[in-house]
Structure formats: C-alpha cells, structure tokens
Structure 1
Amino acid sequence: MGADHSPAAPASPRVRRILVATVVPLFVLTVIAALALWPRQGPAPAGGANVPRHQGTVTRVLTEPCPPTPESPAGDDGPCGTVTVAAKQGPDAGRQVETPIPAGPGAPRVEVGDEVILVELTDPADPTVKAYNIAEHQRGTPLIWLVALFAAAIVAFGRWRGLAALGGLVASFAILLGFVLPGIGAGRSPLPVAIVGAALIMFVVLYLTHGISAQTSVAVLGTLGSLVVTGVLGTLATGATHLTGFGSEDATTLSMFQGDVDLHGLLLAGIIIGSLGVLDDVTVTQAATVTELARANPGLSRRQLYRAATRVGRAHIASTVNTIVLAYAGASLPLLLLLVADSRPVGEILTSEFLAQEIVRSAVATLGLIAAVPLTTALAAVVTTAGRRRPDAAAASPAAAPPPPGRDEALEALGGRRPGEPRSTEAAW
C-alpha cells in the first residue's frame, strides 16, 4: 500500500527488530484497551416523540400580508402565506400538500423547485387531523456531489497515496462513530476512550497512508508520545483553571439529555482528538525530513541531522500555530461577535468559562505540537544513523576510495584529451 511513496533508506535489521518490539506491543495494548472500553450497548435515546420527516419539492409559493397580532399590530411579522409542496414520501406521497411559509430566526427561504424536508404534525386531541411544516432544505444530493468531487480530486492528484488517504479518512470516521462517540455516550470516562480512540486512528491512518516502514514507525512513536504530553498538559491546565466543561450551549444541552456524561473529561477528549490530525502532519514531516537529509548527505552525523531537521520543524510549527488559532476562531465566530458586543471588562471576559476553555484548548494543542518536533526528530535521527558505517572507518579502508589523480591526469581531463594521446601544437602553447 505504500509502494508509490518516496522510498526511504532501509533501516538496519537490528533497528527494525527494535521498532517491531516497540510498536507491536503498543498496538496490542491499544486493541486490548479498546475491547475493554468497547460499549456493550448504545446510549439510551433521548426522550421526545419522533416526528415523521418526508421529502418533497416546492411547486408554488404564495405570499400575502400578515394579519395583525397583539405583538405586531401592523402585521409586520413575516413572511406570511402558503407553500405548496409535492410530497415524495409518507402517506401523502404523490400529492400536493400546503404548508405555511417558514418564519422566524433561522427559517429556510424557499423558492419553486427547492427540495425540502416536511415534518408531519398530528393534533393530540384528534390524531386524524394532521398538518405539514417545512423544516429545512434537503441537502443530500448536493452533499453527495461535493463528496464525490472531493474524493475524485484527491485520487486524481495523489493517485494510490490519495486513495490510501481516503481509506484513512474512512477509518478515522469509523473509529469515531463506532467506538469513541458510543463509548462516551454509554457512560465511559471520556479521557481514556479518547486516548485509545486516538491511538487506534493513529495506527490505522499512518500505516495505511504512508506504508509500513521504519520512517512511519518513528512517526507513530512520535505521535503517541506527543499525545501523552498533550493529555498530561490538558489535565493540568483544566485543573489549574477549574474548567467544568459547561463552557458552551451544546455542552449544557447535552447535560440535560445525558446527565451521566463527564463534561470535564469530554473537554479533555476534544483537545486530544482535535490535536491528533495536526500531530500526524508534524511527526510525518519530521521523520521524512530526517530521512531525506540523510539520503542527500550520508555523511551528516546524528547531531547534524537533528539540528537541520529541527530548523525545518521550527518553520513548520510557526505556521501551524497560526492554523490552529484561526481554525478555532473560525469555528467560534458567533462567540467572538458576542464578546465584541459584551460590555464587561476585557479581563473578566477572558477569564470566563467559555473563553478560557478555548484559550486552554489552543495553548495545550500548541504545546503538544512543539513537543512533537524534538521528540520525533530525535527518534528519526537515531533510527536513520543506527547501523551505518562511520566516516572514519570508511576512510581507513583502502578499497573505500580510489587514489587521488595525479597532476598530469587532472590536466589531461581538463583539456579534454584522453590519456596517452599526443598533445597538439595548440595545446602545447
């Protein structure tokens, strides 16, 4: 699966044995821990009636003035009117049904030809009386085309490596949806579930995407060590700042539906899972950098390899830190707008639960990335230089290098004349 990757210099048999003896037990321990933490039953479904949802197509939109109400005597609360929808599913499939025009904050704006989702509402007093409302647009078809374009672009550009990357992405989501989320939802402690899930993702994705080699094994060990550092720092930071995990509306809503979920542990789990993707990038880059430097200049010592690759790592980290902060800022734009409109002092805003949580998340993820560079680079330098001949030993060998050419031979080579040919008159002058 890694045949199309740039070939790395083969490690010595002794180094390969050491890596196998290190990585295989860690993988076995990860699998055993996953089996021990595997949810025996899924989370209990949240209460509430399951409202039927059906697909349909908008065939007509009729707007009309809104009637006056006590809250709005002028009748400006709108839009008002009816929407005719051709139902594709449910008991009225193939018929035209009428719904009110969606109104209110976040209501979808519909036009003729739009694919929508209808919710079927039944009158509790008379189950035979029902009505329909438009819940949202039907996004399945556009999403399928977007995912198909995404996959085609990755495979067209990356070829076999792109196909392996898609397989790794599918495996990541399978582990998240099949193990991590059900395990936390079933009441398991989020932190160990996240650590084991991240380790499983790391093993599968790295070896599937980059092939089974000493270079990949170094990246695996570097990623695993950095995840441990991230988990320890996250535990210390959330404890020192007394974060509870109730820093967002989603967490508060989750606590109402599933009161047994440890939101503090869920915060730590989010930090670890969120750091994994960037950690993979850094550790793979550092391992590959050391390998390529050693291939370009086999005479570099272990210390020289470490220093040169660390300089590359510093540049990489400088750009990655900005990526992490901007990613969190982009996902929290509504929160940042609320902060701008907040009239409290800046110090009080920065130390509040919801913003302190984001600061801790960004800082801990960055510290884990910084730790990944020297750790992975040192491992890669040791593995790359282990077992190779020392330069002094190679120089001492009489067959290692041909004797230096004499003065006449060098002049003949510069003049373009073969050895033994008589020199021309022009050459003599």
Structure 2
Amino acid sequence: MGHDHSRPVAAAPPRVRRILIATVVPLFLLSVVAALVLWPRDTAQVPGGEDVPRYHGTVSRLVTETCPPTPEDPDGGEGPCGTATVSVDTGPDAGRQVETPIPAGPGAPKVDVGDKVVLVVLTDPTDPTVSNYSIAAHQRGKPLVWLALVFAVAIVAFGRWRGLAALGGLVVSFGILLLFVLPGIGAGQSPLPVAITGAALIMFVVLYLTHGISAQTSVAVLGTLASLVLTGILGVLATAFTHLTGHGSEDATTLSMFQADVDLHGLLLAGIIIGSLGVLDDVTVTQAATVTELAHANPNLTRLQLYRAATRVGRAHIASTVNTIVLAYAGASLPLLLLITADTRGVSEIVTSEFLAQEIVRSIVATLGLIAAVPITTGLAALVTTAGRGRPTTTRPPRPTGDRDDALAALSTPRGTTEPADTPAAWPTRQRSTDTTW
C-alpha cells in the first residue's frame, strides 16, 4: 500500500516530534479502545442448511453422449452430457473409482481427464440411504498457493526489507478485516464505526510498518485519518441525499435473507471507507514525501512555496488516481454494466436506479475524500517540515548579479547563436509555475 519513498529524512526538531507524538499516540489509543468496545463477542453461527461433505478426487475418464431432448430443445438438451469417472483421493471412499454426471448448466465447471476436482456427496431426498457423488468445483488450493508465492517473491525481490514489511502490512490488513471488521458487522454492530475503527487500525500499523516511524509517516497518518473521517461524513450525506438503502445488489439482498439484522445502508458506507483507504494512504504518503524532498532540495523555500509546489504534484497524482478509482469500480462491476446495456429501459431510469446510483455515489464520495487528502496532508507536511528552522548564523556576501545574468543568458541562448533568447520560456523563475498550460 502506498509508494516507496526510502530516502532517509532528517529528524524533525524535538518540539515538533513531541507535538506529533502527543497527537498520534492518543488517536492510536482511541482506535484501540474503540476496537475493544466494538469487538464482536457474539460468535454464534448464522443458521443455515447442513454442511455437505466435500472430498478431493482426480478425473480419470470421460464418456460423453448426446443430451436427451427437452421441451425447449427437442433435438437434445444443452450439454455436455455423459459420465465422468473420478478417483476419490480423500474421505471414506479414498482409492475407489466412482462415476458422476459431467457437470452441465450455467457456471458448471468444465472438466477434463487429469483435473483435480472437489466432490460432494448428495443424498436422495426420497431414500436417505442412497447417496451419489457429484463434481462441485476444481481444486484451486495449490494454484493459489503458487500465485501467492510468486507474488511474495516478486515484492521481496524488488522491495527487499521494505517489500517484506509491505507483506507484513498486508497480512495485518487481512487479519483486521477477517477478525474484527467482518465479524463485527455480522454480529449486528453498526457497520460505519466498525469500518472507521478497522481502517484506522490498518492505517496505523501498515503505514508505520511499511514506511518507518518518522515525522513524515506521522504526517501521512494524520492526513489519511482526517480524509477517512471526511469520506465517512460525505458518504452519510450523499447516501441520505440520494435515498440509498443498500439493497442495490443481489449480494446485499441475499445477505439480508440470511442475516436480517445487518444494516445494509451502513454496510454500503463501510465499503466506501474500506475501499478508499488503499488509495488514500498512497496519496498522503506521496504528498508528505514530496514536501520533504522539496525542502531537502531547496532549504530556502518558504512554507507557502513548499505547499504550492507539492500541491502541483498532488494535482497530477489526483488526475490519474481518479481514473484509477472509476476503472476499479467498473472492473468489479462488469456484469452489472453488461446488464445495463441489455436493459430496455431509458438511460435516465437506469442511471437513477439504486443498483447503479450506489456505484456512482461510491465513486464520487471516494474521489472527494481523495481530493481533500492533498491539501490536508500537504499543509501538515509543510508545517512540520519548516517548523524549527533557525535563521542563518552567517550572512553570505551577495552574489554579483552580472555573473548570474550572464550565466542565465548563456544557458537560455539557442545553440549556434550569440544573442540571448528573450522569450518568456527562456528560463524558469522561482515564481513561475511548472503547470502545463491547457
């Protein structure tokens, strides 16, 4: 999460460090206390059907045949049809060869000889003593483990110790989500405070673990936390303004059938908070590092000059990140977008429907929180970086202006000419913006 800015930065003055510690430590302790208060204590399982036994097997033979006719298709039903012989690898029938129907229908796995599959035992409802095996899915454990290993090796090989710290932060993030956020929402807690608390804990641990304990990281932490709170407030206002209920997806409707006490409106807000965190910390770390690097490159820059220069970098970053957010949501919602293109309703009716309106609100709120993170973090970083600057102890003699003017003129003169270029773009002055003119 976030960019790698590994240049060692100068230590902040003691007074600045004390102020940051007095600000960050209470916020961290407040997040820990909130997590203890909201920690799920009711771990009762959601009532549901009995768990179907699952075993592993290997497809050893396939026999295909013509599908029997159906009223919809007199020439033969939709295939494939036939039987698969599977060698059972686990369970009470390990080592046996069993026959199962070849999976067919929408979403059914396509199997071939040698495939590792998951078998389920289905009992005949009319005769409980009769049971048969059926292929439920492919075994994906080993492929996922190999992909995870390639992922980890690539990160560590490129990032070295920083990459290893990033992997640790990723483990912490999933641990907080799986042990606190999801069980807390499932136990009936209000999703919004659970999500903000979980996101705050993830932010504290991941940022300090990945980027080290420094004033620069503390500035990024404060900027991220402020932007998260602002994103939550904007989410509450936007969802209330557009009258969203959280029932805009089939998943939410299915969840409400199994867990009627889950606040789907709050769950929508929690998703906005969690989804914004990964992009927010990228922007805040980059802005804090930009201010630090600018101050390191030119210690004579004033606080306002640092803020303006770093904000120009932030504008370019935001311009690309906004597109990233929209494309990320669009990629996750491709089936939804295809459904929209096949819908015969008018465009205005489709756009204002809840299932699409909540995606629009989600993107807009996340983008507004992201935009706010730039001035907040940049302002804090400029304050911290310039705090404690002392006045120069010695006064340097003024440099002769003639030498400087001659050097600038020589550098700005086109090759092959002796006359200095007198165009406005000949040499950038300190006050001139580097923003591209549109």
After TM superposition, the score normalised by the length of structure 1 is 0.90
| Equivalent residue runs for 1:29-428 within 5 Å | 29-390=30-391, 394=392, 397=393, 399-401=394-396
- TM-superposed deviation, 1:257: 0.2
Q: Deviations over 1:104-149 (max 9, x none)?
A: 0011110000010001112234333110111111111111000000
- TM-superposed deviation, 1:71: 4.1
User: 8 Å contact 1:68–1:74 — kept in the other structure?
Assistant: yes
- TM-superposed deviation, 1:68: 2.6
Q: Deviations over 1:378-407 (max 9, x none)?
A: 0000000000124xxx2xx4x4547979xx
Structure 1 residue matching 2:160: 3-state secondary structure: helix
**C-alpha separation in 2, matches of 1:11 and 1:291:** 11
Distance change (3 Å), C-alpha of 1:47 and 1:55: same
- TM-superposed deviation, 1:49: 1.5
Structure 1 residue matching 2:83: 3-state secondary structure: strand
Q: Deviations over 1:289-331 (max 9, x none)?
A: 0000000000000000000000000000000000000000011
User: 8 Å contact 1:4–1:160 — kept in the other structure?
Assistant: no
User: 8 Å contact 2:119–2:134 — kept in the other structure?
Assistant: yes
Structure 2 residue matching 1:311: 3-state secondary structure: helix
- TM-superposed deviation, 1:67: 2.1
Alignment partner, residue 409 of structure 1: none
Alignment partner, residue 418 of structure 2: none
User: 8 Å contact 1:43–1:185 — kept in the other structure?
Assistant: no
> One-letter code of the match for 1:347?
S
User: 8 Å contact 1:60–1:85 — kept in the other structure?
Assistant: yes
Structure 2 residue matching 1:129: 3-state secondary structure: strand
> One-letter code of the match for 1:111?
D
**C-alpha separation in 2, matches of 1:317 and 1:275:** 13
User: 8 Å contact 2:42–2:187 — kept in the other structure?
Assistant: yes
Structure 2 residue matching 1:136: 3-state secondary structure: strand
- TM-superposed deviation, 1:6: 1.5
Structure 1 residue matching 2:133: 3-state secondary structure: strand
- TM-superposed deviation, 1:73: 2.7
**C-alpha separation in 2, matches of 1:321 and 1:97:** 54
- TM-superposed deviation, 1:41: 2.3
- TM-superposed deviation, 1:242: 0.3
Distance change (3 Å), C-alpha of 1:198 and 1:142: same
Query: Which has the higher Rg, Structure 1 or Structure 2?
Result: 1
Q: Which moved more, 1:127-136 or 1:179-188?
A: 127-136
Alignment partner, residue 23 of structure 2: 22
Alignment partner, residue 14 of structure 2: 13
**C-alpha separation in 2, matches of 1:300 and 1:212:** 25
User: 8 Å contact 2:283–2:373 — kept in the other structure?
Assistant: yes
Q: Structure 1: where are the runs of 5+ without partners?
A: 406-429
**C-alpha separation in 2, matches of 1:176 and 1:404:** 60
> One-letter code of the match for 2:333?
S
> One-letter code of the match for 1:311?
R
- TM-superposed deviation, 1:345: 1.1
User: 8 Å contact 1:43–1:182 — kept in the other structure?
Assistant: no
Q: Deviations over 1:19-78 (max 9, x none)?
A: 000000000000000000000122532311110111111000100112233443322332
**C-alpha separation in 2, matches of 1:98 and 1:400:** 92
Superposition RMSD in Å = 1.6
**C-alpha separation in 2, matches of 1:401 and 1:73:** 97
User: 8 Å contact 1:86–1:95 — kept in the other structure?
Assistant: yes
Q: Which moved more, 1:211-220 or 1:126-135?
A: 126-135
Distance change (3 Å), C-alpha of 1:138 and 1:206: same
> One-letter code of the match for 1:213?
S
User: 8 Å contact 2:57–2:117 — kept in the other structure?
Assistant: yes
After TM superposition, the score normalised by the length of structure 2 is 0.89
> One-letter code of the match for 1:379?
L
Count of residues paired in the alignment: 398
Distance change (3 Å), C-alpha of 1:161 and 1:224: same
Percent identity reads: 79
Distance change (3 Å), C-alpha of 1:4 and 1:232: closer
User: 8 Å contact 2:70–2:77 — kept in the other structure?
Assistant: no
User: 8 Å contact 1:215–1:380 — kept in the other structure?
Assistant: yes
> One-letter code of the match for 2:16?
V
**C-alpha separation in 2, matches of 1:101 and 1:7:** 61
Q: Deviations over 1:253-291 (max 9, x none)?
A: 000000000000000000000000000000000000000
**C-alpha separation in 2, matches of 1:153 and 1:41:** 40
User: 8 Å contact 1:119–1:132 — kept in the other structure?
Assistant: yes
